[in-house]
Structure 1
Amino acid sequence: MRAPGFWHREPGFVSALLSPLGTVYAGATRRRLAQGPRVRVGVPVICVGNLNAGGTGKTPAVIALAERLRDRGVAAHAVSRGHGGSLTGPVLVDERRHSAAQTGDEPLLLAAFLPTWVAQDRAEGARSAVAAGAQVIVLDDGFQNPGLAHDLSVIVVDAHIGFGNGRVIPAGPLREPVGAGLARADLVLSIGDETGQARFADRWGAAVPVPLVTGRLEPLPTGLPIKSLKVLAFAGIGHPEKFFRTLAAMGADIRATHALSDHQPLSDTLMTRMLREARAMGAQVVTTEKDAVRLPPALRSQVMTVPVRLRLEDWGPVDAGLDRVLAARGTP
């Protein structure tokens, strides 16, 4: 399902009409968050969440944090609900044994970088991770979940989109009002290019009461001949156009694009159709890492994957947050 266009425009008639339902949704979120007390599991919990429904760049942010913690010699485990997967957990994801249909695509991707647990009950997932040796839990999403206490909360936002029209679902893209959400946050991470960052700062900068960290997604050098390559690109992420812009910036000759729904299953029928279309125009099918883990195994060799990594302009505020929570919990 694609987000309605009015979610990302200045509030108008439709968003005003739906605003009372947004108030109901926000109230439900507020009541859920009031449940407590939240569970502590004996190690720091870093929540990488968002205020927007849909993708903002949480998965690259989790990977970047995991690598930062690894460089400090800290054993971090990720915990995720596994959106779209069939497992209820707690289950430690095994890339060799599990499929995206079981775990969800994000946990399967994360498992290549750090031990990753799928658990419908995040507190149970965190306990299992600690029992397996985790010194820090990196929570993939869960900012609006009341089950687990957070020691550091990072709100990730797409710089180009910001917080949309500032309204709560269904009047806008937000899970809760901006003020209420950022009041519980420790950091805001805005991901995007210079144009997007300027737009976010102009529209939302004054509303951010915590340190604002900026970063961008950069293609990982793989040696693949992407420049001038004729491609058919598809993406089933929160905002597929971000991937298409990345390919264009890399110099790819984009002949066709297919924007799929976030987490959309990649059936044999769908992939056969796109591969046939690509062959007819002499193009290579290209997709994201997150989509690649959902590909039918027999077709993976026919699709080129373009990985990206998050690069921060300044790690200082993030490192300061990590120092604080690790010192408070006695973690090295």
Structure 2
Amino acid sequence: MRAPGFWWRAPSHPGLWPRLLAPLGWVYAAATARRLRQTGYRASVPVICVGNLVAGGAGKTPTIIALIERLTARGHAVHVVSRGYGGRLEGPVRVTSDHQAEEVGDEPVLLSAFGPVWVAKDRAEGVRAAEAAGARVILLDDGFQNPAVLPSLGLVVVDAAKGFGNGRCIPAGPLREPVAVGLARADLVLTIGDAAAQARFDAIWGAAVAVPRLQARLEPLQMGMDWAGQRVLAFAGIADPSRFFATLRGEGVELVRGEALSDHEMLSETLLRRLEAEAAGASAQLVTTEKDAARLPPAWRPKVLTLVVRLRLADWSALDAALDRLGL
């Protein structure tokens, strides 16, 4: 879900519509609070919930990839449990190379390259399936506002540039629940962005974060591809396509055009043929994100280049300390 622009204004300048919609935001927040009073399933192994407080993307998928790598390096069998947004399978089902994004969702397809991934509309059933399959630690993809599973550790991921928007709940703002309420359940906060974005977050929201905070940025993974000077036509169906287009420019590409799609939008043959024809006419190469590439039909994968990014933390100590407390 992509947020309208007015959601992201600073809290001191909320705008007319957020003020008018504020009562509905209070109702939304109250419904979330009632749901969270339910008692969830307590797993026999540590469960790390990677979530956010806003609707839309904040960088959870690269965060989960980084956690898989960190925990695997510590010698643990890591499984991921996801709702499988956009997929039609109810689950629990373990994602394999035969699954398509329309069955299990694009993020599970992407994450399955890094370790076992379970898709389940009922998250508790997904966790039970992972336990039975030998998981020694489970990463819960999203679910911070879902009471089905009791997390051992809650990690809230934030886009540092956007922060918590105007500080209001849906539909008056981007929040799924009030900042103070959500952060009271968090054990760690991870803000993702460059130095300027981190400074902006500090100025507006720093005082609201009372738990240990990690800072990271997304960096292109060096895979031997020299992007500098390449003419590309890019497309992205992520929460903030403009960030992807900016990353490409930062790599030195000549961006002919960027096509912003809806988050998780399925890539139809009609859309891809149109983009292919436009790229050919401009002597450009089609490029997309790693998550969008997971939704490409098999016949199109050789035709589209992927810019791969990874999460880079300057300091892992706060996370490592939290893992140590969990016996990980």
TM-score range, shorter chain: over 0.9
Answering whether residue 28 of structure 2 is matched by residue 25 of structure 1, we say yes
2:19 aligns with one of 16, 21, 29: 16
Q: Secondary structure at the match of 2:48?
A: strand
1:7 aligned residue: 7
User: Equivalent residues in 2 for 1:79-90 (5 A)?
Assistant: 79-90=81-92
Q: Partner of 2:270: helix, strand, or coil?
A: helix
Offset of residue 212 of structure 1: 1.0
In the alignment, which residue of structure 2 is the partner of 1:55? 57
Q: TM-score under structure 2 normalisation? A: 0.98
2:244 is matched with: 243
Deviations 1:97-129 (A, max 9, x none): 100000100000000001000001111101110
Tell me the CA shift for residue 194 of structure 1: 0.8
Moved segments of 4+, more than 6 Å: none
Contact 2:2 2:56 in 1 (8 A): no
> Matches of 2:174 and 2:298 in 1, distance apart?
34
Tell me which amino acid in the other structure corresponds to 1:4.
Answer: P
Tell me by how many angstroms 1:52 deviates: 0.6
SS at match of 1:183: helix
Q: Deviations over 1:166-189 (max 9, x none)?
A: 110000001000000000000000
Residue identity matched to 2:36: L
- C-alpha separation in 2, matches of 1:2 and 1:141: 16
CA offset at residue 41 of structure 1? 1.6
Residue 187 (str. 1) matches residue 188 (str. 2): yes
Structure 1: gaps (5+ residues): 327-331
Q: Which blocks of at least 5 consecutive residues in structure 2 are unaligned? A: none
Q: What residue number does 1:270 align with?
A: 271
Distance 1:303 1:12 in 2: 41
Match of 1:100 in 2: 101
Structure 1 CA distance, aligned partners of 2:125 and 2:217? 33
1:2 CA displacement? 3.5
Residue 202 of structure 2 is matched in structure 1 by: 201
Amino acid at match of 2:297: P
Q: Quote how far apart the aligned CAs of 1:12 are.
A: 1.3
| CA positional deviation for 1:209 | 1.0
**Residues 1:110 and 2:132 aligned together:** no
Aligned length: 325
Letter of the aligned partner of 2:119 in structure 1? Answer: V
Q: What amino acid is aligned across from residue 35 of structure 1 in structure 2?
A: Q
Q: Is the Cα–Cα contact under 8 Å of residues 87 and 101 in structure 2 kept in the other structure?
A: yes
Q: Distance in 1 between matches of 2:256 and 2:180?
A: 42
* CA-to-aligned-CA distance 1:11-36 (integer Å, 9 cap, x gap): 11100000000000000000000111
- The 2-side partners of 1:247 and 1:195 are apart by 19
Paired residues for 1:252-291 under 5 Å: 252-291=253-292
Tell me the CA shift for residue 238 of structure 1. 0.8
- Partner secondary structure for residue 283 of structure 2: coil
Q: Secondary structure of 1:214's match?
A: strand
**Identity among equivalent pairs (%):** 62
Deviations for 1:148-178, whole angstroms, at most 9, x for unmatched residues? 0111100000011110111100000010000
**Which amino acid in 2 is paired with 1:87?**
L
- Contact 2:267–2:295, Cα closer than 8 Å, also in 1: yes
Distance apart, 1:225 and its partner CA: 2.7
Cα distance between partner residues in 2 of 1:114 and 1:201: 34
- The AA in structure 2 aligned to 1:126 is V
Deviation at 1:3, TM superposition (A): 1.7
Partner of 2:229: 228
